[in-house]
Amino acid sequence: MMRGLNRERIFESVDAKQQLLDILADKVAEGNIGIYAYCIMDNHVHLLLKAGPEDLVAFMKKVNGSYALYYNREKNRVGPVFQGRYKSECVEDERHFWGVLRYIHRNPVQAHMVKAPQDYEWSSLKDYLSGKSKLLNDKALQLKQENFSDNESFLKMHEEEDLNIYLDVKEEQDKMKKSVARKLINMALAENGANNVLELRQKGEAFQSLLDKLALEVKLTYKEIAELTDLSYSMVQRLVSKS
């Protein structure tokens, strides 16, 4: 994931988005890189890539450098275009792969830009649905064919509930964390027949398990947990510290 400096909308225009796609296509042909998903938003871009560490660094340097030259020329400006170095994380297994792909394609929906992911023009979802792409690795389309019987089942996968936290710009990641936390809280309350988290405390293990998940898996601060659960800060700090 890479983002515009100072949250600038560096990919806002159609020409800018197309320019980035052209650069990606050009640079991916030069190295040992495979693109498995992409989504170009107005101020940041998500990429799902297959690459070795050194290949990834070289590829992203070329892409960022080429786009920065284009953007500065178009805007008659000088200086950095991207906010620091790109951010990345490793996809651990196939389930994680499909989760990341789903999250990337749903980014415009989460940003309230479209109602359905297939309505957004600047993501790889349209490539998967058409079965052809100038940018995606051939293996990407093959994986879709091997795992989904048709486009309908592929789109249905994009509607599945997901409690994982994915790489994104900080504001979106904070929203994601709180959304996941609320789902975990509601699930715990429903499973234990409790009306609120304080009432759940009477269940002992279920209460402690919920706090542990919020702190260790969702990585909320004590303050955030207190706000979401209506517990006091001191109680959260005392109980989570035991885990």
Same domain as 178, residue 151? no
Q: Look up the CATH number of the domain holding residue 8.
A: 3.30.70.1290
- Euclidean distance between CA atoms 165 and 190, whole angstroms: 22
Q: Is the pLDDT of residue 241 over 70?
A: no
| Measured CA distances, 6 to 46, 80, 88, 202 (Å) | 17, 10, 19, 47
What sign results for the dihedral spanned by CA atoms 7, 116, 185, 210?
negative
Q: Give the range of the structural domain holding residue 33, as residue numbers without chain letter.
A: 2-157
Choose the final residue of a domain: 135, 157, 179: 157
Choose the final residue of a domain: 110, 126, 157: 157
3-state secondary structure of 134: coil
Determine the angle formed by the axes of helices 205-212 and 170-192, rounding to 10 degrees: 170
In a domain, 165, yes or no: no
Same domain as 123, residue 80? yes
Instruction: Tell me which range, 139-148, 174-183, 217-226, is most confidently predicted by mean pLDDT.
Output: 139-148
In a domain, 162, yes or no: no
Choose the final residue of a domain: 113, 135, 157: 157
Same domain as 195, residue 84? no
Same domain as 47, residue 6? yes
In this prediction the pTM is 0.80
Same domain as 91, residue 34? yes
Same domain as 14, residue 74? yes
Domain total of the chain = 2
Q: Is the pLDDT of residue 229 over 70?
A: yes
User: How do residues 108-156 score in pLDDT, each as one tens digit?
Assistant: 998 889 999 999 999 999 999 999 999 999 999 999 999 999 999 999 9
